[in-house]
């Protein structure tokens, strides 16, 4: 709160007008539309629509395909989060130990942040291509394993998981590194004097002190995996094979634009909105505590 | 470092090098693939070292595109991406600066209502309201236009909060001094606040430029006109055609071209980038 402010009855409205106009037209209004049409069922030609209360939602949650998407999203989100966070933590701990050439290492570790999710997907799609991908070739040559994400749903999910995690490592790395650097050196030194081994120091001092960062990243990564990975799926597997990689955001798109089932798509939008709102609330409640910490 | 442990030092460097190899390897493969003729990538194992077609491939991409996907020159897609990225970045920064200024430096009815309205945008990513937003843009006649690509994306809660946070740290004495010198609110904003916010604007610019350049779903929905394709979204057509035809070398060349501008921005302005990233997420 500012003590000193300017006085004008019209200027502030003019200043917020562009932001508010765009928010209302492109955010609030469509969100309201989604809410509204989730309660209607439209006929195939869009001539008439009937108010059906929560029938769209009932249908949605009794649709095994949708429930499977829920499960896929959860598995995908958790694996991406775990994979990228654990690798990033390892790298951050290592980078924090290095004194010389630390900047050089950092430079090489942060650039994937700038790579678009769609491109990350395409890069790994190429690497793992069953006929000419180098990873598929190595799997065949070394383990005799026949990798084919066109036929195996599990393998397709593994591929998009790796691509999504690969892109997110730099982000997590930067936050973990910042968190590590804010831990007072004196604590570590005191533990070292008490003859605690590096591993023990990490698990009893460093890791607990990092928990605010870890929790923050946990939420951010889940949001990333749930919503920002649409491009990875769409550019590579298109939800297939047999729906195995069709996560929730992909399904909303597919139901609405390809299947043209507006009621169901709107109901899915509403479910997703509830999900984002929940996660944002968690994130912000936590961030407030992080500032105090 | 607290104590000297040679073994642990070696392990540290090994971990870092392994991480770098893991992160760089896909790009290395793409780079190598983009320098070979299409036939070299038709059978396994594919080459691990550069071929001699690099110049040819990139020349064809930039000027002629990939014939199998309509032959839009990649240079044109990059130009479209640049317009979209800059439009989104500048738009977001401009309207966020203005609204943050209004919210911090004025008292007016519904101030908090506006604040919460802006906050809500954080909870409504494009992905969850695809269809109705598309309808709005369609009914405004903005499909297949730069306006339609840019305008709906420029509301920004993150940028507004960042500037609000920063404005709150600007000493009140500056406002008092400005008022004594009879500077009006707009003059104060332009001559004092804006120059003070330079570093924040620059840091945010980097993050938002990457965000804008990497947009995928929105351009994919809004543009059906080939002349408006952006590069990140255009590559998807090549991938899907590429299964039957030997065009992996061109697809990978496009991927490399698509990641060059944002990666250069990050590497060239590393310090500002880290600042922007860490601060905009708070």
- Asked if the Cβ–Cβ distance from B124 to A110 is below 8 Å, we say no
Instruction: Count Cβ atoms below 10 Å from residue A49 Cβ, excluding itself.
Output: 14
pLDDT at A46 over 80: no
Q: Is residue A102 assigned to a domain?
A: yes
- CB A198 to CB B103 under 8 A? no
**A137–B44 C-beta distance less than 8 A:** yes
CA distances to A160, B37, B58, B65 from B246, rounded to whole Å, are: 23, 9, 16, 14
**CB < 8 Å from B in window 155-174 of A:** 166, 169-171, 174
**Interchain pair A118, B24: CB under 8 A:** no
Q: Can you tell me the distance from the alpha carbon of B75 to that of B61, in angstroms, rounded to the nearest whole number?
A: 8
Give every residue of chain B whose pLDDT is below 50, as ranges: none
Cα within 13 Å of Cα(B172), Cβ side: 8
Residue A293's contacts (CB-CB under 8 Å, 6 or more residues apart) are A212
Structure confidence at residue A92 (pLDDT): 92
- % pLDDT > 90, chain A: 19
Q: Mention the CATH class of domain B76-280.
A: mainly alpha
Structural domain spans, chain B: 76-280
**Distance separating alpha carbons of residues A92 and B101, to the nearest angstrom:** 37
Cis peptide before B78 (omega within 30 of 0): no
Q: Say which CATH number the domain at A246 has.
A: 1.10.3720.10
A52 within some domain? no
DSSP output for B247-279: -HHHHHHHHHHHHHHHHHHHHHTHHHHHHHHHH
Q: Average pLDDT over chain B, rounded to whole?
A: 85
Interface of A with B in 169-208 (CB under 8 A): 169-171, 174-175, 178, 185, 188-189, 192, 198
Neighbours of A193 (CB within 10 A): 10
Of A238-242, A267-271, A287-291, B128-132, which range is least confident? A287-291
Residue A83 has a pLDDT of 94
Are the beta carbons of B125 and A119 separated by less than 8 Å? no
Residue with tokens 């501008």, as numbered in its chain = B261
| DSSP letters spanning A16-74 | HHHHHHHHIIIIIHHHHHHHHHTTEEE-TTSS-EEE-TTHHHHHHHH-HHHHHHHHHHH
A236 touches chain B (CB under 8 A): yes
SS3 content of chain B, % helix, strand, coil (to 5): 75, 0, 25
pLDDT, position A293: 37
The answer to whether position A58 is within a domain reads: no
- What mean pLDDT is reported for chain A? 84
Model confidence at A45: pLDDT above 70 = no
In a domain, A36, yes or no: no
Domain that holds residue A74: 65-292
DSSP reduced 3-state for B90: helix
Rounded distance between C-alpha atoms, residue B89 and residue B153, angstroms: 10
Do residues A61 and A67 lie in contact, with contact meaning Cβ atoms separated by under 8 Å? Answer: yes
Q: Give yes or no for a contact between A163 and A120, defined as CB atoms under 8 angstroms apart.
A: yes
User: Does the pLDDT at position A292 exceed 60?
Assistant: no
Q: Rounded to the nearest 5°, which phi and psi values hold at B106?
A: -135, 155
Per-residue pLDDT tens over the stretch A192-211:
888 878 888 888 888 888 88
Instruction: Output the pLDDT for position A291.
Output: 40
Within a domain: residue A57?
A: no
Cα–Cα distance for residue pair B234/A237, rounded to 1 Å: 16
Q: What is the 3-state secondary structure (H, E, C) of A164-224?
A: HHHHHHHHHHHHHHHHHHCCCHHHHHHHHHCCCCHHHHHHHHHHHHCHHHHHHHHHHHHHH
| Number of separate domains in chain A | 1
Residues 6+ apart with CB under 8 A from B34: B54, B57, B58, B249, B250, B252, B253, B255, B256
Residue B57 CB contacts under 8 Å (≥ 6 apart), including other chains:
B34, B35, B249, B250, B253
- Note whether residue A72 is domain-resident: yes
**Record: contact A11-B185, CB cut-off 8 A:** yes
pLDDT of residue A80: 95
Q: Of B2, B105, B210, which has the smallest distance from its Cβ to A2's Cβ?
A: B105
């Amino acid at each position: 709160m500012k003590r000193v402010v300017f006085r004008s009855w019209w200027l502030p409205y003019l200043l917020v007008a562009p932001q508010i106009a765009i928010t209302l037209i492109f955010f609030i209004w469509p969100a309201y539309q989604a809410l509204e049409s989730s309660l209607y069922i439209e006929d195939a030609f869009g001539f008439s629509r009937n108010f059906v209360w929560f029938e769209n939602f009932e249908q949605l949650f009794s649709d095994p395909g949708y429930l499977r998407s829920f499960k896929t999203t959860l598995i995908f989100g958790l694996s991406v989060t775990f994979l990228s966070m654990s690798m990033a933590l390892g790298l951050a701990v290592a980078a924090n130990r290095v004194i010389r050439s630390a900047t050089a290492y950092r430079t090489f570790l942060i650039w994937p942040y700038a790579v678009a999710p769609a491109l990350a997907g395409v890069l790994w799609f190429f690497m793992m291509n069953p006929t000419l991908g180098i990873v598929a070739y190595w799997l065949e040559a070394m383990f005799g394993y026949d990798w084919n994400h066109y036929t195996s749903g599990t393998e397709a999910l593994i591929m998009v998981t790796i691509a999504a995690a690969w892109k997110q490592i730099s982000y997590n790395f930067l936050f973990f590194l910042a968190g590590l650097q804010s831990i007072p050196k004196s604590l570590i030194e005191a533990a070292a004097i008490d003859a605690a081994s590096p591993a023990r120091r990490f698990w009893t001092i460093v890791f607990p002190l990092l928990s605010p960062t870890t929790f923050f990243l946990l939420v951010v990564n889940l949001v990333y995996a749930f919503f920002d990975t649409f491009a990875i799926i769409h550019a590579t597997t298109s939800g297939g094979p047999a729906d195995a990689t069709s996560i929730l955001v992909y399904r909303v798109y597919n139901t609405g634009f390809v299947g043209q089932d507006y009621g169901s798509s709107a109901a899915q939008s509403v479910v997703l909105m509830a999900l984002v709102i929940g996660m944002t609330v968690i994130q912000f409640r936590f961030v407030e505590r992080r500032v105090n910490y | 470092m607290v104590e000297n442990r040679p073994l642990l030092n070696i392990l540290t460097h090994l971990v870092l090098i392994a991480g770098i190899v893991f992160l760089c390897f896909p790009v290395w493969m793409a780079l190598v693939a983009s320098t070979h003729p299409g036939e070299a990538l038709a059978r396994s194992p594919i080459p691990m070292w550069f071929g001699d077609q690099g110049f040819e491939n990139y020349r064809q991409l930039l000027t002629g595109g990939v014939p199998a996907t309509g032959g839009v020159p990649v240079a044109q897609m990059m130009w479209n991406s640049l317009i979209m990225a800059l439009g989104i970045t500048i738009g977001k920064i401009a309207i966020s600066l203005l609204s943050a200024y209004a919210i911090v430096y004025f008292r007016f009815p519904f101030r908090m209502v506006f604040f919460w309205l802006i906050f809500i945008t954080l909870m409504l990513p494009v992905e969850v309201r695809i269809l109705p937003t598309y309808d709005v843009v369609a009914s405004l006649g903005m499909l297949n236009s730069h306006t339609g690509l840019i305008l709906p994306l420029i509301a920004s809660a993150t940028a507004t909060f960042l500037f609000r946070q920063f404005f709150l740290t600007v000493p009140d004495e500056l406002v008092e001094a400005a008022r004594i010198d009879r500077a009006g609110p707009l003059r104060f904003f332009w001559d004092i606040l804006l120059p003070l916010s330079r570093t924040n604007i620059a840091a945010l610019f980097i993050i938002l430029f990457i965000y804008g350049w990497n947009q995928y779903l929105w351009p994919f929905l809004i543009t059906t006109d080939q002349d408006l394709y952006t590069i990140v979204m255009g590559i998807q057509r090549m991938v899907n055609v590429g299964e039957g035809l030997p065009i992996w070398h061109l697809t990978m060349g496009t991927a490399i071209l698509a990641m060059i501008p944002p990666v250069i921005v990050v590497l060239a302005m590393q310090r500002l980038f880290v600042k922007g990233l860490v601060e905009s997420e708070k």
